[in-house]
A and B are shown apart, each in its own frame.
Chain A
């Protein structure tokens, strides 16, 4: 601290809050770019005060009002939330009034930040895997572990996705409670498999089996030297690459999220394997820039036979009529089977005046009464009873093997949802490794560059 103007942190903070308010205002005037972040990355976190006795508004039925915030495409519109969640919730808790606000993804996070800085955050809010760890680390979200232990029976839930969100590491506490999650799965084009006379992929497949089939499914029908049909897709995103690295026995970060492990031999070999699919074997197209589905053939275009992808893709594939498709188990690696899992969750603000009422509302999302309307196509309910009910299993026409998403639960692993996830994983690591996939730089150099960037980002985190 130095200088006359800024001697008091409080003054500085006030200035900054005013500034942020201005920035928010101004950004509202500009053309807000459409968000492309998949809705799959939602995590909620709530906190129980372990020992402190909080005023229990819910016990004596005093009327309280709590605020719930969520983003568009998460659990529904304001009207839908009123109808499917708040109405049945109020039947059980008539004394708790829930105010709802739903914003587009980009605006949502700016608003949450502004409200936290101003000391008036929503009591319950939709949390993303991209921010859950940071919110726990900065004391924004409440530790919900003891409330969870006290009120909920673990055997009622599919528990693996919970571990994805713990703080400070996989053995830590819950600061966000999953309400549903998305999986990786092997998507395959049945029509192309039938044409080639190949057997469909099954639960015993390894990544090598997938590659062998991909070679048979890659075709250059017009003879111009470039395939017009590819066997599979190859991407450096967390759903595909991180799953392969881990299934082969490697790591992306170390267990306490402080160090990049991509330069370890297993990780380098896995990155090489994905790179070879594009550059050496040419069974996968070069990747398209983010947001550009037209720049490269995709699974949805019907010109890529297989894809390791997130189950959130199921929603957009519902509209496909040109070919038949299904999903099956994420293939096994050389060491084990790993399934990527990304939970959508809820957090309770540490500054909430009504944490108990907030917790009641969070619990309602997990209850049998919540139903499937707020789950969304391609996400699996965290509540076992709902996930195994016909209401959910038969809620979509395709894929036929929707159930595999539930069956994969025992193998679910997160994509190192630690500090500054969007910065180190979605940005730095992706950009550095894409250069290997483009062939502009070797895999070893790209892995080293990725680790340099990631380690610097992780080192900047105040723990």
Chain B
């Protein structure tokens, strides 16, 4: 409520004064406190209703659904843990889980390291720096569908730019998206490129919070560029890195658009991911309950991974 106060007009300034006044008796204060809540409520309701109806409600409804067999057409049937039992005994589930983790393992290191390097390069007073930053940020605001269509052309085995470049070095490029071994790396390359600008901006903000004094002091001590990056920038930017790491892992465990548009999960099962499997079971196969169960498995996975990261952060994240 405190955060909302400055935004709320007429009655609240008065409330603020009163609630901080020592002279007001306790019972009266409580009364005014309740009154303040009641006054704030109408302003909060649109947000609260939206949150309840569109986020918290569905989250709990999905949990209940995951214990049912529901095809959307006939009434749902309570089957307890049936969906979860079914899920873990399907060979295809383990393939899909493996694919999702494989994507994450390939994507996250690149998505954490490359934007940092770009941010360090662009964190200096260059002529036209805003243009460079804008160019790197451009893919972020472009729709994945448009980007995927362009990358499809880049990946085209015979006439695509990528294989043309490889050919100049005497390398015969693979049929990227149609080859089981290359389809997933191809998706990762595109995703890293698309996400680079977003993480870069976060790093840039972090970099600008590091005081110049550290670098000056280090240079007097004779530290070269690498030393400054390794022993000043990296440790001091670690809270930002921590944030980038967490959102990168979450977004890669939920990867959907890339595989939906570029490969439809193929060839074979090579790029079928958890989110895609959830989508398919819910909207193509009409197994709403089963789909909700997969969604909850993914949810728990993400929760655990994030929790572990928070536990491990004290070992490597330095808050100034």
**A16 cross-chain contacts in B, Cβ below 8 A:** 61, 65, 68, 70, 75-76, 288
Determine if B178 and A423 form an interchain contact, defined as CB atoms under 8 angstroms apart.
Answer: no
A427 within 8 A of B: yes
Residues of B246-270 at the interface with A, using a CB-CB cut-off of 8 Å, are 260-269
Bound state CA distance, A295 and B156, in angstroms? 5
**B90 cross-chain contacts in A, Cβ below 8 A:** 456
A380 within 8 A of B: no
**CB closest chain-A residue, reference B286:** A113
Bound state CA distance, A110 and B78, in angstroms? 22
* Min distance, Cβ B145 to any Cβ of chain A, angstroms: 6
Q: Encode B274-298 as 1/0 by CB contact (under 8 A) with A.
A: 0000001011111010000000000
Determine if A1 and B78 form an interchain contact, defined as CB atoms under 8 angstroms apart.
Answer: yes
Determine if B78 and A12 form an interchain contact, defined as CB atoms under 8 angstroms apart.
Answer: yes
Determine if B153 and A294 form an interchain contact, defined as CB atoms under 8 angstroms apart.
Answer: yes
Determine if B284 and A292 form an interchain contact, defined as CB atoms under 8 angstroms apart.
Answer: no
Bound state CA distance, A452 and B152, in angstroms? 33
A321 within 8 A of B: no
Determine if B64 and A15 form an interchain contact, defined as CB atoms under 8 angstroms apart.
Answer: yes
- List 30 contacting pairs A-B, 8 Å CB cutoff, sorted by A: A9-B76, A12-B75, A16-B70, A18-B61, A19-B58, A22-B53, A26-B54, A31-B143, A110-B283, A113-B286, A117-B72, A117-B73, A134-B71, A138-B71, A286-B175, A289-B262, A292-B177, A295-B156, A295-B157, A295-B178, A296-B157, A296-B178, A420-B285, A422-B285, A423-B284, A427-B285, A431-B265, A431-B269, A431-B272, A438-B180
Residues of A389-437 at the interface with B, using a CB-CB cut-off of 8 Å, are 420, 422-423, 427-428, 431-432, 434-435
Bound state CA distance, A435 and B143, in angstroms? 31
Q: A19 and B54 in contact (CB under 8 A), knowing A138-B74, A287-B267?
A: no
Binding site for A on B (CB under 8 A): 53-54, 57-58, 61-62, 64-65, 68, 70-78, 80, 90-92, 143, 145, 152-153, 155-157, 175, 177-180, 183, 260-269, 272, 280, 282-286, 288
Determine if B75 and A13 form an interchain contact, defined as CB atoms under 8 angstroms apart.
Answer: yes
Q: Which 5 A-B pairs have the closest CB atoms?
A: A290-B264, A113-B72, A435-B268, A423-B285, A289-B266
Determine if A116 and B73 form an interchain contact, defined as CB atoms under 8 angstroms apart.
Answer: yes
Determine if B64 and A22 form an interchain contact, defined as CB atoms under 8 angstroms apart.
Answer: no
**CB closest chain-B residue, reference A290:** B264
**A9 cross-chain contacts in B, Cβ below 8 A:** 75-77
* Min distance, Cβ A448 to any Cβ of chain B, angstroms: 12
**CB closest chain-B residue, reference A439:** B180
Q: B92 is contacted by which of A15, A422, A453 (Cβ under 8 Å)?
A: A453
Determine if B268 and A438 form an interchain contact, defined as CB atoms under 8 angstroms apart.
Answer: yes
Q: A6 and B64 in contact (CB under 8 A), knowing A113-B286, A453-B92?
A: yes
Determine if A3 and B155 form an interchain contact, defined as CB atoms under 8 angstroms apart.
Answer: no
Q: A295 and B58 in contact (CB under 8 A), knowing A16-B288, A289-B263?
A: no
Determine if B61 and A294 form an interchain contact, defined as CB atoms under 8 angstroms apart.
Answer: no
Determine if B268 and A431 form an interchain contact, defined as CB atoms under 8 angstroms apart.
Answer: yes
Determine if A22 and B54 form an interchain contact, defined as CB atoms under 8 angstroms apart.
Answer: yes
A-B contact count (CB 8 A): 139
Bound state CA distance, A140 and B75, in angstroms? 12
**A1 cross-chain contacts in B, Cβ below 8 A:** 78
Determine if A12 and B68 form an interchain contact, defined as CB atoms under 8 angstroms apart.
Answer: yes
**A452 cross-chain contacts in B, Cβ below 8 A:** 91
Residues of A185-217 at the interface with B, using a CB-CB cut-off of 8 Å, are none
Determine if A2 and B80 form an interchain contact, defined as CB atoms under 8 angstroms apart.
Answer: yes
A371 within 8 A of B: no
Q: A294 and B156 in contact (CB under 8 A), knowing A288-B178, A289-B177, A434-B267?
A: yes
Bound state CA distance, A428 and B91, in angstroms? 12
Bound state CA distance, A230 and B261, in angstroms? 27
**CB closest chain-B residue, reference A16:** B76
Bound state CA distance, A286 and B284, in angstroms? 27
A73 within 8 A of B: no
Q: A295 is contacted by which of B143, B177, B283 (Cβ under 8 Å)?
A: B177
* Min distance, Cβ A350 to any Cβ of chain B, angstroms: 11
* Min distance, Cβ A246 to any Cβ of chain B, angstroms: 24
Q: A23 and B58 in contact (CB under 8 A), knowing A287-B178, A423-B284?
A: yes
A28 within 8 A of B: no
**B57 cross-chain contacts in A, Cβ below 8 A:** 22
Bound state CA distance, A420 and B284, in angstroms? 10
Determine if A5 and B64 form an interchain contact, defined as CB atoms under 8 angstroms apart.
Answer: yes
Bound state CA distance, A293 and B132, in angstroms? 35
Determine if B78 and A33 form an interchain contact, defined as CB atoms under 8 angstroms apart.
Answer: no
Q: A438 and B267 in contact (CB under 8 A), knowing A138-B74, A289-B183?
A: yes
A291 within 8 A of B: yes
A249 within 8 A of B: no
Q: B152 is contacted by which of A20, A106, A116, A294 (Cβ under 8 Å)?
A: A294
**A431 cross-chain contacts in B, Cβ below 8 A:** 265-266, 268-269, 272
Q: Encode A1-39 as 1/0 by CB contact (under 8 A) with B.
A: 111011001101101101110110011000101000000
* Min distance, Cβ A25 to any Cβ of chain B, angstroms: 8
A221 within 8 A of B: no
Q: A2 is contacted by which of B78, B260, B263, B286 (Cβ under 8 Å)?
A: B78
Determine if B268 and A434 form an interchain contact, defined as CB atoms under 8 angstroms apart.
Answer: yes
A52 within 8 A of B: no
Residue with the greatest number of chain A CB neighbours at <10 A, chosen from B64, B80, B260: B64
* Min distance, Cβ B190 to any Cβ of chain A, angstroms: 14
Bound state CA distance, A288 and B288, in angstroms? 30
Bound state CA distance, A291 and B152, in angstroms? 11
* Min distance, Cβ B156 to any Cβ of chain A, angstroms: 5
A150 within 8 A of B: no
**CB closest chain-A residue, reference B272:** A431
* Min distance, Cβ A272 to any Cβ of chain B, angstroms: 17
Bound state CA distance, A106 and B280, in angstroms? 12
**A139 cross-chain contacts in B, Cβ below 8 A:** 74
A60 within 8 A of B: no
**B272 cross-chain contacts in A, Cβ below 8 A:** 431
Bound state CA distance, A5 and B68, in angstroms? 13
**A422 cross-chain contacts in B, Cβ below 8 A:** 284-285
A440 within 8 A of B: yes
Bound state CA distance, A432 and B92, in angstroms? 10
* Min distance, Cβ B28 to any Cβ of chain A, angstroms: 42
**A113 cross-chain contacts in B, Cβ below 8 A:** 72-73, 286
